[in-house]
Amino acid sequence: MEENSIFIRTFGDYPLIRIMDFLLYSRDFDYPITEIAANSNVNFQTLKKLWPKLEQDRIVISTRTMAGATLYKIDTNNLIVKKLIELNNFLCWEYAEKMKKEQEIMA
């Protein structure tokens, strides 16, 4: 079983959180929504229910069409997304510091 990211551990293992976690982690790449669902471990029908709100709020943007499929990525120009990236980075650094301190105590 795969270990959850710090983002998922912090905010809970819910479909929207898993989608956001994948999109934040893979923010340099674009994907069709079928791959976003698969890589997020979210049922495609669940993703389709959540997707319109993500597009409406410009959390995700379409980047191009390839072989008839529209590709999407997280909109890193969106202020909310910028703050989520900042928060995710902070959570990772805090976790790394915590692990470092725990290892020092055990040594």
CB 71 within 8 A of CB 30: yes
Q: What is the pTM of this model?
A: 0.89
Sign of the C-alpha dihedral, residues 85, 31, 13, 98? negative
Question: How many C-beta atoms surround the C-beta of residue 55 within 10 A?
Answer: 14
- List pLDDT tens digits, range 9-31: 999 999 999 999 999 999 999 99
pLDDT at 23: 98
What does the mean pLDDT of the chain come to? 94
- The pLDDT score that the predictor gives to residue 101 is 85
